Structure 1
Amino acid sequence: MSDWLADTRTSYDTVAASYAEHTRGLLDGLPHLRAALRLFAEEVSGPVADVGCGPGTTTALLAGLGVDAFGIDLSPAMVELARRDHPGLRFEVGSMTEPLPGPLGGVLSWWSLIHVPDELVPVVLSHFHRALRPDGLLQLGFHVGDRTNLKTRGYGGHPMKVHVHLRQPERVAEWLRAAGFTVEARWLLGEDGAVLFARRG
């Protein structure tokens, strides 16, 4: 396992419980993000992988909207929390840098691609593309910017070692088009977040 991947897994294992507490109910105050999730649920057909699912909150919200959703996360501790809190749903440990199970109707990846180095983003998007059925839907959420931050402490004050890559929507859109996706919509969330909707060609 690459150093950055091992560091990311260890970091999220360390903060898993604090992260789950911090993000509980977070979407209640984010109506535009909730709307993006509802639109995704309305448009998608078939099973959906929530990649980088963390403690399973968005996976459960998708399931509540009638989607056949399951979660994948790099952190075993996150997966353990997700299974505990959402026992009726499926969660598994995995990495987006490896092929995904398919065929899928959709892939949701909210603020998880942010830890992947630029040179591996095309690899990840190619895995998403291969896992999706023709016309399958992808939704990406990410931080907007032009820099990389090293996060050394987070949620609950616990130590972390993760790189957070902030990217411009057009750059992400270019990667998506190169991977064979059609970018259908871009939503800007305030000044520092974006959601892209893309469909497999």
Structure 2
Amino acid sequence: MTSTTSTPDPPADREARRADFRAYYDAEAADRALRPMPSWRDAAREEFLARLTDERSRTVLEVGCGPGLDGAAFTAAGFAYTGADLSPGMVEVARAASLDAHVASATDLPFEDHSFDAVWSMSTLMHLDDTELDAALSEIIRVLVPGGLFAVGMWGASELTVGPAAKPDEDYGPPRYFHRRTDAMVRERLGEHGEVESWWTRLSRPGSGHRYQYAVVRALSPRP
């Protein structure tokens, strides 16, 4: 479904989507752990790692940690890493790789205020509707130290596109819900929670409206 506006979804719809996500990603966990990251994703992470090193950051939370591929890189670079993921299967695989990982929703992180110097969240927040996205960004700000950095990457589109994606070739479970926002929408949402210090987009293929949106944001103080 393609639209120019987005309205909040009923809570029951969100719960159903979360159940579908858990089923899908639990089934995919073992395979995803063996799937290498694309080079441009690795490059974004390495640039963020360098930035955190320059700022003497030590603790990093990953929201949507999956099987821990990025987490292993953060740990190898000497950072104190914590991962969170909605999928128990993904968390099990991450823990098997000796990572500190927790089953949790991005909209309700089980961590104390100001617990982390930085947050990393890739290919996760585009699965949230607008109400959930606002809650997740507020949670990221809450657990960050004042002025901390968070990096966000998500799949977007040239026009707002909302709804389940077609099933991939590997049938892991129910089709996943995507909320693909335009660049302007994403920048506006992020700007409500911090200062966007870095931004780029990468088309999935030449001429496509489907793109990856990446930002590094300096957190604002938590809302009262």
TM category, shorter:
0.7 to 0.9
CA displacement at 1:135 relative to structure 2: 1.6
Displacement of 1:69 in angstroms is 1.4
**2:92 pairs with 1:80:** yes
- Write the distance in 1 (CA, Å) between the matches of 2:216 and 2:171: 34
Shift of 1:149: 4.2
Match of 1:67 in 2: 79
Measure the CA separation in 1 of the matches of 2:72 and 2:202. 22
Give aligned pairs, total: 193
Q: Does 1:98 align with 2:108?
A: yes
List alignment gaps of at least 5 residues for structure 2: 1-13, 205-210
**Within-5 A mapping of 1:31-180:** 32-44=40-52, 45-84=57-96, 86-87=97-98, 89-102=99-112, 103-145=115-157, 146-151=160-165, 153-154=167-168, 156-179=170-193
Alignment-mate amino acid for residue 33 of structure 1? R
- Deviation of 1:167 after TM superposition, in Å, equals 1.6
Question: Which of 26, 32, 55 does residue 19 from structure 1 map onto?
Answer: 32
TM-score normalised by structure 1 residue count: 0.88
For each residue in 1:21-78, what CA deviation from the matched residue of structure 2 results, as whole angstroms up to 9, or x when unmatched? 3x2x233xx2x32222112112221311111011000111111222221211111011
The structural deviation recorded for 1:100 is: 4.5
The structure richer in strand per residue is: 1
User: Aligned partners of 1:172, 1:70: CA distance in 2, in Å?
Assistant: 25
1:151, CA displacement in angstroms?
A: 3.1
| Alignment partner, residue 214 of structure 2 | 195
Length-normalised TM-score, structure 2:
0.79
What's the offset of the Cα at 1:158? 2.4
Q: Could you say which structure has the larger radius of gyration?
A: 2
Secondary structure of the corresponding residue to residue 65 of structure 2: coil
Q: Residues 23 and 173 of structure 2 are in contact (CA less than 8 Å); yes or no, is this contact kept in structure 1?
A: no
Greater helix proportion = 1
Question: Does the 8 Å contact 1:11/1:159 carry over to 2?
Answer: yes
- Residue by residue over 1:131-183, the C-alpha shift from the partner in whole angstroms, topping out at 9 and shown as x without a partner, is 1001211101111212124135336322223201212222112112223x111
CA RMSD of aligned residues (A): 1.8
Query: Kindly tell me: are residues 161 and 172 of structure 1, through their superposed partners in 2, closer, same or farther at Cα, counting changes over 3 Å?
Result: same
Q: Name stretches of at least 5 consecutive residues in structure 1 with no aligned partner.
A: none
